Structure 1
Amino acid sequence: MSHTTQGTLLLSKLGIAFELHPYDYDPEAPRIGLHAAEALGIDPSQTFKTLMAEVDGKPVCVVIPSDAEASMKKLAATFGGKSAAMMKVPDAERLTGYKVGGIGPFGQKRKVPTALDETAELYDSIYINAGQRGLLLAIAPADAAKAADMRVADLTA
């Protein structure tokens, strides 16, 4: 399995430091982010999941702790919209070029407005999907925000 993804290529091109952390992906795991955190022995609140959503029908990407739920109200407000909903799996895969369970915020096929939950700033580094099932990367929150042009906001319920 190659550990090169569109996400790692982008980070390398930008000269942003990151560390790769492969793990055994379990397609049966009810919550991929929590499963990844457990597999790597990392605190779930330091492991961030990447969710694709729509605000007023327009695609957005949000990166939140794997042990939290996104607040649709806060999500809509962050992107200046009225209502938010999770994106359907086929749409998310088509838009990002990644498979669900392997979606990361870096190097997506189409650039969409992206936000990072403010709790990321509590850590020196956070773990985010590298763009492949079974592969996380550790990155400084400020670098993550810069690489994916993310606004930092309170996004969780």
Structure 2
Amino acid sequence: MARTTPATLALDKAGFAYALHSYDYDPDAPRVGLQAAESLGVPAERVLKTLMAQVDGKAVCAVLASDREVAMKKLAAAMGGKSAQMMKPADAERITGYRVGGVSPFGQKRRSPVVVDRAALAHARVFVNGGQRGLQMELSPADLVAALEARVAELA
């Protein structure tokens, strides 16, 4: 497994500290984030999933705990829009440059505005996808928000 991805390069360039963790990715897992948390031996609320959505037709990246579901009305409101919907997997892969199951909020091919769920800030350290299936990056939620220039809002 490569330990250098567009996500790690983006964080290195921005100067934020992180730790990499590999795990056995299960493509058949019903919920990839929960499987990652179990494999890493950490609570699911600390392993954040990266979801690509559209708010009023524009790409948006939502980051929230793997055991939570995004409320589309809250996502739209966080972005100042009227409606939100999940992006089709093929569109998410084309826009981010990552494969579904390995989408990171960092180093995306086309940068989209990012919203991080407020609940993520309750933890000292969180995990986000490192840019490939089976790779997670551990960092502080404050660094996550700062490096992504993300908005923070209630998403679930």
TM-score range, shorter chain: over 0.9
The 5 Å alignment of 1:83-98 reads: 83-98=83-98
The 5 Å alignment of 1:101-140 reads: 101-140=101-140
Asked if residue 149 in structure 1 is aligned to residue 149 in structure 2, the reply is: yes
Q: Secondary structure at 2:26's aligned position in 1?
A: coil
Query: 2: CA distance between counterparts of 1:151 and 1:22?
Result: 28
* Percent identity between the two aligned chains: 56
1:100 CA drift (Å): 0.2
Q: Secondary structure at 1:94's aligned position in 2?
A: helix
Q: Matched residue pairs, number? A: 156
RMSD of aligned C-alpha atoms? 0.5
Query: 1: CA distance between counterparts of 2:53 and 2:14?
Result: 26
1:15-66 C-alpha deviation (Å, 9 max, x unpaired):
1000001000000001000000000001001110000000011100000000
**Regions of 4+ moved over 3 Å:** none
1:3 CA drift (Å): 1.2
Structure 1 residues not aligned, in runs of 5+: none
State the partner residue of 1:48.
Answer: 48
Q: Secondary structure at 2:121's aligned position in 1?
A: helix
What TM-score comes out, normalization by structure 1 length?
A: 0.98
Asked if residue 34 in structure 1 is aligned to residue 34 in structure 2, the reply is: yes
1:149 CA drift (Å): 1.3
Structure 2 residues not aligned, in runs of 5+: none
1:67-121 C-alpha deviation (Å, 9 max, x unpaired):
0000000000000110000000000000000000000100100111101010111
Supply the AA of the counterpart residue of 2:66.
S
Query: 2: CA distance between counterparts of 1:151 and 1:58?
Result: 16
